[in-house]
Amino acid sequence: MKIKQVLNALEQFAPLPLQESWDNAGLQLGLTEAEVSGALLCLDVNEAIVDEAIRRDCNLIISHHPLLFHGLKQISDGDYVQRVVIRALKHDIAIISMHTNMDNAKDGVNWKIAEKLGLQNCSFFAQKNVGDHEGGSGVVGLMPLPMAAHDFIQLLKERFQVACVQCNELLTRPISKVAICGGAGDFLLNDALSLGADAFITGEMHYHQYFGYEQRIQICVIGHYQSEQYTAEVFRDIIQRECPDVKVCIAETNTNPIIYV
């Protein structure tokens, strides 16, 4: 199985036209005609991830966040991005990133978050359809049973392994309809409100956006890394279905640059 076959499978699932205009999803570096010795699946690419790929005999890294957002004017040891490029090329490791195209894809990042919460009757909101490809920036669904706000937040902490959730004032009504946008999704807060969602889950939100929504919608911010941590499971399922002979390894390295003390 060649790297290009894995790349094609990923792009069939989450077509590149679904990505945002500022993004740089797809092949980051490497030779796609090479045979895959193994694929390491992760959220971010840093030097520790490349070392893990070497250790686990994986010549392909598949990340959610792109390594390369901007053009490089030099390749030296000036920053971690350049060092990763050098180390990956030295060890014949290719890097593929599926970012906002995977965020916007059916059964992609936001659908995985919904699955972890057990949401039902899920659908896109803030739709982003490109040609025959259905997509959307967010997913909305229903809890199996209405849940008190405090209990809902405890469920989030458990399912996403977070010590705390940043919230606005707790709702006094039960939470049933839930809107989701993993990562930096605060731009969808008003869309979630217009849907009649009781709660909005995202990874990041600006301070001033917490004001003015008291008892209108429950804001739940769980951390960028935490909200997207299960994206590797989406990659795994695609590859196991479409390229079953490829060895897949979910990264053991935690690349979250934010620590809680």
Q: pLDDT tens digits, residue range 238-253?
A: 999 999 999 999 999 9
Q: Please give the average per-residue pLDDT across 35-49, as a whole number.
A: 98
The two tokens of residue 90 are 């030295």
Question: Residue 138's pLDDT is what?
Answer: 97
3-state DSSP call for residue 206? coil
How far is 60 from 221, CA to CA, in rounded Å? 32
How far is 45 from 23, CA to CA, in rounded Å? 16
Q: How many Cβ atoms from other residues are within 10 Å of residue 107's Cβ?
A: 17
Residues facing residue 125 across a β-bridge: 138
Question: Residue 194's pLDDT is what?
Answer: 97
**What value does the mean pLDDT of the chain take?**
97
How far is 41 from 64, CA to CA, in rounded Å? 9
Q: Please give the average per-residue pLDDT across 157-177, as a whole number.
A: 97
pTM: 0.96
- Give yes or no for residue 181 having a pLDDT over 90: yes
Question: Residue 108's pLDDT is what?
Answer: 97
- Give yes or no for residue 261 having a pLDDT over 90: no
The two tokens of residue 228 are 């997207």
The two tokens of residue 72 are 């490089």
How far is 79 from 157, CA to CA, in rounded Å? 34
Question: Residue 131's pLDDT is what?
Answer: 83
Phi, psi of 124 (to 5 degrees): -70, 150
Residues facing residue 147 across a β-bridge: 175
Quick one: DSSP state of residue 174? P
Helices 80-90, 47-55: inter-axial angle, 10-degree rounding? 20
The two tokens of residue 260 are 């809680």
Q: Which amino acid is located at 118 in the chain?
A: G
Contact present, 200 and 219 (Cβ < 8 Å): yes
